[in-house]
Structure 1
């Protein structure tokens, strides 16, 4: 049976792609078919093949069987800014309907594990009227939360969990990703989060010299998702 999840984070730049790619890697080496969608990516580079996003390429590398880039990342925005601002500046249509349709095209592949990665945190605007979190609601996707372990993470994590619950979605699991090597009392913060977040902890990822998918996957347990 196909399993599908929406991957979000407590903020931007806290490792959503790193964790998503690692979860796909763990599933893939376990013999499962995998797919990913990063429906909108801001911060793309011009290449001979068109605009390409580093995060979307990392997800593409863990899709098995392979998927075309355009399926994984249908909306590419060049400026590395909030997607709704970039879309407006670049004249790109960014709507819930377009993104949902793009995700359904990948869902039709019926892979064992499919991850849809958001942009930034949970409440990211798509346009003047719609939020990216509404995509998870529209597709009825359980959520995987990446918690960037740094000062303030408890507040950010709990508020995000509350918002996910308020939207009527299940928190399927969460990952503690140590983004700040100088964070004070990381063990105590993790213990508090484990006590207060009522969902499986899929793993605690330390600061790694090489944060490739295989290295990160060694610190994760994909079993609760598949």
Structure 2
């Protein structure tokens, strides 16, 4: 881990350079090379809960770590705990802004809440970059051009957003994205019938019957309103 940190310093990469990347409306091409360099902090033992402080009241024995001296990011679970501590602190101390709060990570140091927020943003962007890493299939254009135009398979072309997505394609897309989550069910939009002037043309008793057996926490309704999905 020490060697990795030394290499980051040699490359002049820190949370300050991460801030410079993210403030420029980053794209995959402009940010990936630097984002993938940042590794999470590794803790050998179970971490104690973060401790929230007001920056103006920090003792001299607890200096803030500067972004330019930090070359790693908190794991997402620790970031979530820090955010919760900030919320609790603000409830107990009315009028204290988020920017005025620091989080002490026992055994590691004291971090401004703005630094933790930067780590959260960096982690989110790093995760998004991974979504672009798909295997290239040079045969795909040929396969698409040989799809029978009057078959259901042709609906995959709707995903290019050249036309309005059909109910079936919206349902397939959402099911593919959320189908593995046991707390989410994707409702078939075709059950709603045609939505006209804010009114559903389908028989409401049929809709109630379709939903009567659902016990999920989240129910998604794919809807196409004037081309907005």
TM bracket, shorter-chain basis: under 0.3
The structure richer in strand per residue is: 1
TM-score under structure 2 length normalisation? 0.21
TM-score under structure 1 length normalisation? 0.21
The structure having more radius of gyration, on CA atoms, is 2
Higher RCO (Cα < 8 Å, 6 or more apart): 1
The structure richer in helix per residue is: 2
